[in-house]
Amino acid sequence: MAVLGVGIDVCDLARFALSLERTPGLRERLFTPAEALRQPASLAARFAAKEALAKALGAPAGMAWHDAEVVSEESGRPRFELRGTVLERARELGVAQVHLSLSHDAGIASAMVVLES
């Protein structure tokens, strides 16, 4: 297996929460219905995850936010469910495995993504 891409992103929790309050449609535009039910800190981490994934994929134009959904396994471990535009790009690159790590502390949410063949 080879590393095909790496992405990292951070998101200021207070600024992100304010953006959600100021722009009511933002939650629905960025997140799937299941993701949108989460609290702002969790949404900030998921936003960072989607940004990190886009970076790892080479930030191609036309990717849809809802095509990369962050879900939690029973253990609580986060992972992506890819579909549509994001899945298509991952297949183009030969991605077989997507690793995701999320964190939020001290007012910052962060995410790291590693793509493997």
Residue with the two structure tokens 């995410």 = 111
- 34: three-class secondary structure by DSSP: helix
Quote the pLDDT of residue 24: 85
> In the 8-state DSSP scheme, what is residue 38?
S
Question: Taking the model in full, what pTM does it have?
Answer: 0.95
Q: Are 100 and 112 in contact (CB under 8 A)?
A: yes
Dist CA 7 CA 1 (whole Å): 18
Single-letter amino acid, residue 96: A
**Could you give the domains of the chain?**
3-116 (3.90.470.20)
Q: What pLDDT shows up at residue 113?
A: 98
Which tens digits make up the pLDDT trace of 23-63?
Answer: 989 999 999 999 999 999 999 999 999 999 999 999 878 89
Angle between helices 40-56 and 13-22 (to 10 degrees): 100
Looking at residue 60, its pLDDT comes to: 79
Residue closest to 53 by CA, chosen among 16, 5, 91: 5
